[in-house]
């Protein structure tokens, strides 16, 4: 009879261990941020309409306007319809307006005025990138 009891105890311990393991795996996987997905469909008004998804939530759409060859971003939860030069800019704008961009942490803080006063050939690639991002942010806020 003690054998039956030990089998029950072993099975019970295995169940507990499996449950704890499953919970641990789920906790690890929930820390992984899902990627942005983009698909497209034919639209009678816009031609090819690209849809930007975060998990199963549609966060915006964009399309190419043939009149001036600009990409029009249509982020959800916003009435603005910014014009972009590339599809990548439209995607980035939609993702940013959805609050899904996380800024890279940089050890250096840059002074915009100081960078703009320096000769261009003295700027490092990191400083150039910072200036480009700053300019894009300014353009976005102005739109």
pLDDT value of position 27: 62
pLDDT value of position 35: 81
Q: What is the mean pLDDT of each run of 10 residues along the chain (143 residues)?
A: 52 74 63 74 91 92 93 89 88 84 53 78 72 67 59
pLDDT value of position 68: 92
Give domain limits for the chain.
1-32, 34-102, 103-143
Whole-structure pTM over 0.75, yes or no? no
CB burial of residue 13 (10 Å; 0-12, 13-18, 19+): exposed
Which residues, in sequence order, are bridge partners of residue 25?
none
Contact at 8 Å (CB) between 48 and 85? Answer: no
pLDDT value of position 40: 93
């Amino acid at each position: 009879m003690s054998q039956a009891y030990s089998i029950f105890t072993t099975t019970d311990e295995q169940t507990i261990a499996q449950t704890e393991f499953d919970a641990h795996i789920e906790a690890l996987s929930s820390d992984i941020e899902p990627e942005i997905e983009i698909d497209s469909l034919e639209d009678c008004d816009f031609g090819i309409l690209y849809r930007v998804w975060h998990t199963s939530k549609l966060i915006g759409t964009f399309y190419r306007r043939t009149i001036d060859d600009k990409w029009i971003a249509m982020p959800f939860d916003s009435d603005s319809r910014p014009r972009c030069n590339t599809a990548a800019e439209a995607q980035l704008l939609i993702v940013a307006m959805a609050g899904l961009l996380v800024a890279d942490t940089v050890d250096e803080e840059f002074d915009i005025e100081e960078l703009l006063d320096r000769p261009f050939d003295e700027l490092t690639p990191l400083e150039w990138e910072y200036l480009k991002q700053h300019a894009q942010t300014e353009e976005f806020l102005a739109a």
